[in-house]
Amino acid sequence: MGDVLHAMPAVAALREKHPEWFIGWAIEPAWSGLLQASTDFNRISHKADRSGSKPLIDRWHPVPAKAWSNRPFAPSTLAEINTTRRELRAARYDVCVDMQGSIKSALVGRMAATPIFAGPASPRETPARWLYRHPIATTSTHVVEQACELLGAAVGETLRPAAVTLPVNPKAELWCDRLLAQTSSIRDGFVFLAPTAGWGAKQWPAERYAAVAAALGRAGFHSLVNEAPGHRFADAVVDASDGFATSVPCSVEQMIALVRRAGVVIAGDTGPLHLAATLDRPTVGLYGPTDPSRNGPYMTDSSKARVLRHESSRTDHSRHAETEPGLMQISTDEVVEAALELLRSGQDKVKL
C-alpha cells in the first residue's frame, strides 16, 4: 500500500501535464482499490468528474505476485504470468517505469517490452538495476519526490508532487456510516489504530497501542483497530484496551472511508499511515529503523502530522524480527499527548 501511495503524486502530476496520455498501472489486485481508473476492470468504474478532469489512470493490470510466489510451480501460475505478459504487450506502451525498485516489479516491467524501460539507478533491491534499459539517478530525500524525479526523467518532464484524489466507493461509504452509527461509544470522533507493520523492527508493541487506546478512551475518543489479514495484533490491542477499542476488518475501499472520517490515525511506517497522509488526515507516525525524512507522512498540511522517533534509532532496512530498540523508547504518554493535541485542534477548527 505504501509503495502505491508514494508513487501516486508523481502519476497525478503527469496526468495534469498530459491528460491525453494513456496511463496504465501494473498492481497487486489487493491494492487496486487505491486507484481511480477510467475503465471498469471488474470494479467500480470512475468516470471523468464534472470539471472534465480524467481519473488518475486509464487502466490497471492485475499482477497477483503474492499468489504466484505461494504457488510458483503450479500450472495456473504460469498461465496467469503468460496472460499478464500478453496484456501488457498488447497495450503497446511506449514507456515503462519501475516505481518500486524491486526484482519483482522489474521483472513485470520487462514483460511489457517497451522501447523505454526506466528504473532507479539505486533500486531497493540491487539486482533490479540489471533489468532496466534506462537507470535514473535521483537526488531528492523523500520517496514521493524521488518518484517525481524518476517518472519525470523517464518521460522528459519536470514533475512536482501533485494532489491525489482517492476513489469514493459508495458501498464502502455506506458500510462505514453504518459501522460508526452502531458504535455508540464514538462521541467526539474516533481514532484509527494500525498496529501492524511490514516487518517486526517497525512494529511498536501491541500492549502499548492498547494503553494508548485506553488513555484516549478515557479522554472521550474510541479507537478502531485495523485488523490486518494473518495478524492477531488487533485482538491483542482490543483485549487490553479496557473496552475502549474495537477491531475492524476492512477492505482497502472500506479503510479509505474510515480514514476519511478519523480524528487521527496512529501507526508506524506502514500503509495506513501513508493513506492518512494522502487523505490529509491528522497522523501520529511511530518511527524506528526507517528515516521519516525519507518515509515520513507526506501531506499538504504538515501541521496535521506528528512524527515520533527516538534519537537512538538508526536507519536499518534489514527486516529484523524484534522491535528496534529506539522504537521501544517511544512512550505511550508521548503518543497520547500527540494524538490529543491533534484531536482537540481538529475539534476547535470544526467549532470555528
* Span of 35-49, 88-102, 334-348 with lowest mean pLDDT: 35-49
Q: Do 109 and 15 fall into the same domain?
A: yes
- The predicted pLDDT at position 347 comes to 59
* 179: confidence class by pLDDT, cuts 50, 70, 90: very high
State the residue range of the domain holding 50. Answer: 2-155
Question: H or E stretch including 116?
Answer: strand 116-120
CATH, residue 29: 3.40.50.2000
- The predicted pLDDT at position 47 comes to 43
Q: Do 204 and 267 fall into the same domain?
A: yes
Q: Do 127 and 204 fall into the same domain?
A: no
Q: Do 150 and 204 fall into the same domain?
A: no
Residue 115 has pLDDT above 80, yes or no: yes
Among residues 155, 181, 196, the one where a domain terminates is 155
Q: Do 145 and 212 fall into the same domain?
A: no
Any domain includes 165: no
Q: How far is CA 269 from CA 67, 178, 242, in A?
A: 24, 29, 26
Among residues 155, 188, 211, the one where a domain terminates is 155
Q: Which amino acid does the sequence have at 102? A: S
- The predicted pLDDT at position 300 comes to 84
- The predicted pLDDT at position 37 comes to 78
- The predicted pLDDT at position 187 comes to 60
Q: Do 135 and 186 fall into the same domain?
A: no
pLDDT tens digits, one per residue of 234-260 = 999 999 999 999 999 999 999 999 999
Provide the number of structural domains found in the chain: 2
Alpha helix ranges (H) inside the chain: 2-17, 65-70, 75-90, 103-111, 143-155, 170-182, 206-218, 233-239, 252-261, 271-278, 292-295, 325-328, 332-351
Q: Which of 275, 312, 314 is nearest to 291 (CA)?
A: 314
Alpha-carbon gap, residue 250 to 175, rounded angstroms: 10
Any domain includes 162: no
Q: Which of 182, 198, 192, 232 is nearest to 216 (CA)?
A: 192
User: What is the arithmetic mean of pLDDT over 323-341?
Assistant: 97
Residue 340 has pLDDT above 70, yes or no: yes
Among residues 97, 123, 155, the one where a domain terminates is 155
Any domain includes 164: no
Residue 307: strand pairing partners: 285
Strands 190-194 and 222-226 turn out to be parallel
